[in-house]
A and B are shown apart, each in its own frame.
Chain A
């Protein structure tokens, strides 16, 4: 059995998902305020990096980078409920693209594995 990233379709799958995912996040009233004023082009590159990691693709994930990137947001009140919202938006993106439930769960687990780094604890 090939690995998760290959089963999902690799880089093409990330490209297909990233804008859908970003639109859901921006439209999600629970978390939209954390994205106010950010440069959209820089942000989508970061989203792509995050999705590649969550899809099990090639990455050099560093917990320290993730901590630094979210430090200011934690000070602004970022907590578990917001991470839950992002994970929901991610799963709903995958389902919309027709990804099977088994793979959705695997992606969720990978994305969830960075929760403590994101929340700086």
Chain B
């Protein structure tokens, strides 16, 4: 469709009879946000968005007067699925496996998530721990649930070489808009380590100079997977510190991180990944301690709906 001269994308959509959600019509409330999958939205139509959102082509149609063609999509549209082949399924902890898959061209940033589709009607979202420039595969860390359908497929059915589908990537939890000299604090629990591991390696690869601290919480020491790899990274990079916390040994990762990080919260960039309660608590408490909401990227993992 074409916009009339001076017409906003929102007005053009409304004129075409579509009913996109919108409210302020002034570029502030972000209710109408859409994403350009091709073409660059005008800079002013991204005013107020995070650097990660801008990098993904998000824009505000109510203040967007396009000067060049764009293909636009709803913000949570993952695009068409593509085929991928399983390369490896290996245990990382008692109830966590590492899944590595290979696919054709798939542009992503470490820390984003994709939808893994094992069969029609069986899709789940998993974060990416791999790095596109360092790994020839996509890596996910998957918690096995005793009665989960995907878990059963991964433990009983799927083997290296088997084909499945993926869609995406999506999500704003990646290293973008971070000042290379500011403290970078990564806090996660369980398989929340997957996106943090991706972000950590991306930050190191992109030359982050400020102090980096990664807090990883688990119920027991067995759940503190990748500890050897993280200790090796800490040894190789003097400005990176790895702080594991096992709950059964008295280590509450949220309390530990909040106490240590609150004094410098206003100057730090945060990445928070894990269960919804943990992420919400950390986000709120770090904000109240002075962190800017724009400096807090988070990804809260939701359990699959029981019927799915």
Which residues of A are in contact with B by a Cβ distance under 8 Å? 19, 22-23, 26-27, 40-42, 44-46, 48-49, 52, 58-62, 65
Contact = CB atoms under 8 A, between A and B. Distances in A.
Interface of B: 23-26, 28-31, 48, 283-284, 287-288, 292-293
A45 B26 contact: no
Interface centre among B28, B283, B293 (most CB of A within 10 A): B28
B29 A45 contact: yes
Given A40-B293, A41-B293, A65-B23, A48 B284 contact: no
A49 B292 contact: no
B25 A60 contact: yes
Nearest to A65: B23
Contact of B26 (A26, A46, A52): A52
Contact of B288 (A27, A46, A49, A60): A27
Contacts of A42: 30
Contacts, number: 45
Given A23-B287, A23-B288, A40-B287, A48 B293 contact: no
A40 B284 contact: yes
Nearest to B289: A23
Contact of A48 (B25, B28, B283): B28
A60 B293 contact: no
A44 B50 CA distance: 13
A112 B77 CA distance: 39
Contacts of A60: 24-26
Contacts of B287: 19, 22-23, 26, 40
Given A45-B29, A45-B30, A48-B48, A26 B23 contact: no
B24 A49 contact: yes
Instruction: Tell me whether chain A's interface is mostly helix, strand or loop, or mixed.
Output: helix
Contact of A46 (B29, B283, B292): B29
Contacts of B25: 60
Nearest to A27: B288
Contacts of B31: 45
B28 A45 contact: yes
Contacts of B284: 26, 40
B53 to A, nearest CB: 10
A49 B293 contact: no
Given A42-B30, A60-B24, A19 B292 contact: yes
Nearest to B292: A19
B283 A40 contact: yes
Contacts of A44: 293
Given A46-B29, A48-B28, A49-B29, A19 B293 contact: yes
B26 A59 contact: yes
A62 B29 CA distance: 13
A42 B21 CA distance: 14
Contacts of B292: 19
A48 B31 CA distance: 12
B24 A59 contact: yes
Nearest to A59: B26
A55 B24 CA distance: 15
A27 to B, nearest CB: 7
Nearest to B290: A23
Contacts of B293: 19, 22, 40-41, 44
A49 B284 CA distance: 21
B288 A59 contact: no
18 contacts: A19-B292, A22-B293, A26-B284, A26-B287, A40-B284, A41-B293, A42-B30, A45-B30, A45-B31, A45-B48, A46-B29, A48-B48, A49-B23, A49-B28, A52-B28, A59-B24, A62-B23, A65-B23
